[in-house]
Structure 1
Amino acid sequence: MIGSRIHEIRMKKGLTLSELAVRANISKSYLSNIERNLNQNPSIHIIKKIAVVLDVDVRELLKTELYEETHQYLESEWVDFINELKQSGVKKEKIHEYKTLIEFIKWKNEQSGEKSNYGASKN
């Protein structure tokens, strides 16, 4: 939840609730309600003010734990894939040239799937 994220980041930055509230120009009680998830739907304007003081992107405050876990997992898969490409000699300047090959393989797999489905329906 957004309140938990704000609290976590605020603590990492070493700010008190009062300091963040004053710097963001919002009331301490309102900020406290957000952090304790009593107000689970603060306006984007308030979120932006808090993000500026915490020196983070607004998206950082909006992330959920599930999103982070999924995102980190996907990111590590892509990093591994990119590392494999680099190790095989693929230069980043030439990666767009491989797009055609990837599209062909995708098309070929789709065609194989269509043929096997077509053949299965005739039997």
Structure 2
Amino acid sequence: MIGQRIVHYRMKNNMSILELAQKTGISTSHLKKIEEDKYSYPSVQKLEQIANVLNIPVQLLLGPQTSQEKETELDDVWIEVVKEAMESGVSKEQFKAFIENKKRERDDE
């Protein structure tokens, strides 16, 4: 659960795992394991480092989700779609233009 929250807030900050690793000083492989919830209880020190870089209180990573968090949470499929788009070189502007086109198509129907 903590790992999913880290991914959620990392994505909200448009940050790659490599960038988070560089800014926290935590290795990419270790961060990946934390994000995949391979560690039941990551160290509080590491969570504080991550929260600082993500500019959020550490409690957001530890505590129960609020209803607002649940509504805005990216599920695993969306996270993969965003990762694929980022890795394929699709810019934010291109992705937004695609969404706007889909909205217009839907409105025209």
Q: Same fold (TM over 0.5)?
A: yes
Give, in whole Å, the separation in 1 of the partners of 2:40 and 2:17. Answer: 17
AA in 2 matched with 1:50: I
Which runs of 5 or more structure 1 residues have no equivalent in the other structure?
70-123
Q: Which has the larger Rg?
A: 1
TM-score using structure 2 length: 0.59
Query: Does the 8 Å CA contact 1:3/1:40 hold for their aligned counterparts?
Result: no
What fraction of aligned residue pairs are identical, expressed as a percent?
39
Tell me the residue number matched to 1:22.
22
C-alpha deviation, 1:39, in angstroms: 1.4
Partner of 1:61: 61
Q: State the number of aligned residues.
A: 67
Deviations 1:11-57 (A, max 9, x none): 01000000001100000000000001111211000000000000000
Write 1 or 2 for the structure with the bigger share of helix: 1
Per the alignment, residue 49 of structure 1 pairs with: 49
- Structure 1 letter corresponding to 2:35: E
Give me the whole-angstrom Cα distance separating, in 2, the residues matched to 1:17 and 1:64. Answer: 23
Amino acid at match of 2:21: A
Structure 2: which amino acid aligns with 1:32? K
**Deviation per CA, 1:33-86, whole angstroms, max 9, x where unpaired?**
000111121100000000000000011111233xx24xxxxxxxxxxxxxxxxx
RMSD: 0.9
